[in-house]
Amino acid sequence: MITVNAMGDNCPIPVIKTKKAMQALTGSETIEVLVDNEIAVQNVTKMAASSGGKVTSEKLGEKEYKVTIAMEGAPAAAASEEGGETCMPDKRNNTVVVVSSDRMGEGNDALGKVLIKGFIFAVTQLDELPKTMLFYNGGATLTCEGSDSLEDLKSLEAQGVQIMTCGTCLDYYGLKEKLAVGSVTNMYSIVETMAGASNIIKP
């Protein structure tokens, strides 16, 4: 494990430090990058993913984030060229993703659960991330311990996406103590968030 401490560094320094660590690799290695803001998470994530790394990220606390990059070796040649340290603007827009079930579509339940996992992963790959993701009813289980989508949701949260789960729903399913990502919200906030959205996506 290689740790890159970029806490307190302004863009593009976190990207530059990470890039240098990646270029020094001679074999498979995991790089852990510590930063203190969501934009740095977005920029490091984009650069590392374009270099062939498998990237996950997580919010550890207030102004404390960790980006984990699994590399099979030195980055791809195209990504090693100079000029990859550009500071990108915040990738979030005012889109709200609303998830009301632990499965996607109607028909086979097992297939539906595979589809919702794929849907959430696909959200992580969007060029413009949503501002907020709302989870209620059966969807509330996806933000709790044991969910197959926790890694993707934590990565989205680290990049500034608000992950909000209905408190009434967590209480109903007995999951309030098992919430593993994001925060608890109420119906007024859910309605207010949806009313203020420029786009709403519902799987």
Enclosing domain of residue 28:
2-80
3's CB contacts (< 8 A; 6+ apart) are: 31, 32, 33, 34
Q: For residue 189, how many other CB atoms are within 10 A of its CB?
A: 16
172 with 148, same domain?
yes
Domain annotation covers residue 90: no
pLDDT in tens, the chain (203 residues): 999 999 999 888 999 999 999 988 888 999 999 999 999 999 999 899 888 899 999 999 989 999 999 998 777 654 444 455 667 767 677 899 999 999 999 999 999 999 999 999 999 988 889 999 999 999 999 999 999 999 999 999 999 999 999 999 999 999 999 999 999 999 999 999 999 999 999 99
Does residue 39 fall inside a structural domain? yes
Beta-carbon count within 10 A of 177 CB = 8
192's CB contacts (< 8 A; 6+ apart) are none
Question: Does 89 fall in a domain?
Answer: no
CATH of the domain at 27: 3.30.110.40
- Looking at the DSSP assignment, which residues form a beta bridge with residue 99? 135
Q: Is the pTM of this model over 0.75?
A: yes
